[in-house]
Structure 1
Amino acid sequence: MSRVLDVVVIGAGQAGLAAGYHLRRLGGLDFAVLDAEPAPGGAWQHAWDSLRLFSPAAYSSLPGRLMPPQHEETYPDAPHVVDYLTDYERRYELPVQRPVRVEAVRRDGAYLRVETDSGVRSARAVISATGTWSRPFLPAVPGRASFRGRQLHTVRYRTPGEFAGMRVIVVGGGNSGAQIAADLAYDTELTWVTRRPARFLADDIDGRALFDHATARRRALDEGRTDGGGVASLGDVVAVPPVREARDTGRLTARPMFTRVTRTGVVWADGTRAEADVIIWCTGFRPALAHLGPLGLRGPRGHIPVQGTEAVGDPRLHLLGYGDWTGPASATLIGVGRPAREAARAVAALLG
């Protein structure tokens, strides 16, 4: 029988690296981090060119290592984050193996059997940190399949130059939708569509305040106090400088959601039409959990019920970085540190 690892971490994006950091700090654990990507950086290496963090570098850091500032940029771009994650992985000598794609996790007696495209690993515990980027969500809008122009999701968008002079509809009222719409507001005939009126956070609110709010909410819930609402109660869009500029110059005004797509554009409930060459769907993601399917733990909404980060149906499995349901602000750089520490400690306690 091959060597049994204490822990397998699946995914070497920000959540997987934070888990690796805390496992390394605890000491005495034989673990590996399996990453499907051929290079460090997680999903950040696939982001669009103009993407900016919502927080300054010092407030976008993983545990143990502050992100250095980016020259003359308050809000770092994606390549800067990739460089930071690459350095982080090297600095803490995290045992990342890549490219290794995990295909399934199954129960195997006292162990969890991790099946990959490069063989099988057996582990006493698994921390799944595969994120959401690989599972883009497209809504079931009537007529979407009939559109003769180009359709793409956030994950395929790169630069506004590709669409210069075109009629572009951007769908989505979150941060991705607002940033991409702002990116396209100058050189395209832009229509920005949101399911509800666009809600910009106050200009002085960025990721620092959002993390503080999420942490305070979790503390209130743990103490049995009234739920004041998650970060969504503050608004949907962080007004980073490019978004703020496009908004303040009148280029970023949202229209309500259309009712159907036609071969050449979209139609609203009142019969108003807009022709389009391109529709960009900034409509979010779903957690990438297919590899955990054989464990039979998923609930009716597709999520795996958790207590903290621990799967309710199997304490050997922890989920990290998929959203607030796996730790407050755990899908952010600064927010994933605390649930990663809790997951590592819980795993160490379980393994004795």
Structure 2
Amino acid sequence: MRPIRHFADRPHVAIVDPCSAAGYDLPDIEAGGLGGTEATVLRISAALGASFDITHFQHGRSVEQRSIAGRLCPLGDRGPTGDFDALVVINRWKVAVALRRRYPGTAVFLWLHVYPGRHNRKMGTALKEAGITVICVSLTHERYLETFLNAAAMPRSVVIYNPLNDALQPDGTPRDPCRLLFASSPHKGLAEVFAQFATLRAQVPDLTLAVADPGYLRWECGPVPEGVTFLGALSHPALMEHLRRALCLFYPQTTFAETFGLILAEANAVGTPVLVHGALGANAEIVADRNQHVDGHDPAQILARIQAWRRTAPRVRSNPAFRLSSVAQKWADLLSSAVAVQDHLEVQS
């Protein structure tokens, strides 16, 4: 049984990341090369730090340290140790279920950032029986999970978006009408984007494509078309500068479904349009403006949209619900509610 918390204490929250290849901290966002999931975990943790005492357990971390995002600890063989009011597990449902057995009096959440594959069909029943709440990162993500698991096996779920920095705004940077940008890991459809760009450039030969690859995954993408330059892993401020200068974020690939797609939201936040295949993953939810949607299988649509944007750049904006201040409040409400329920049960027992 957990000790009864004093009213003035900040609730203790453990965030368990069994998927990370190495430890990570806030400076890694600015340095570049950090995945969107890890960056989201750190941003949310830093925003909640005044109200919650957060400890991270990260797979691949070897040294404990303090951070604005909380205490950063190695994930040992037995997982987190200590008294916590809530446990948040990144992606691994079996880890969440194991922790529920180990900490029966603690609120446990599964923070899902991926679409589960066929071998995970048992997860719904296991999570539901364990009383674990699943946090999805978009409504599209949640609907997929409901269909994948079927209604009878669907555990309790909530949707909390990944966060955009509140300060991201258009700043009047001139756009280069010849410059397109792809800014994702290459496994997210870069081979297809190369083919789409080569077809497009045959019609508009002065176009270029800059590729910002965070570098955390090597992926074979085939021949590189003429007009492509590689930027490598960029710091977050540098990436935003490239976004501001580009005609658009060029992302009409049709194969990799995003559960959220933070770079899509960031592009719109700085006023840059996104050329995106609307009928895939959460694209249509995150980029709600249909003028930014194309059929990625149709080269004529892609060409027509690029030509139109070269003549007149569209005005775009981000969804206020994606802003860090809004997202952090939803997290605070969720965790506070869970802690209040657990405290009530402790008193009752």
TM-score, normalization: structure 1?
0.26
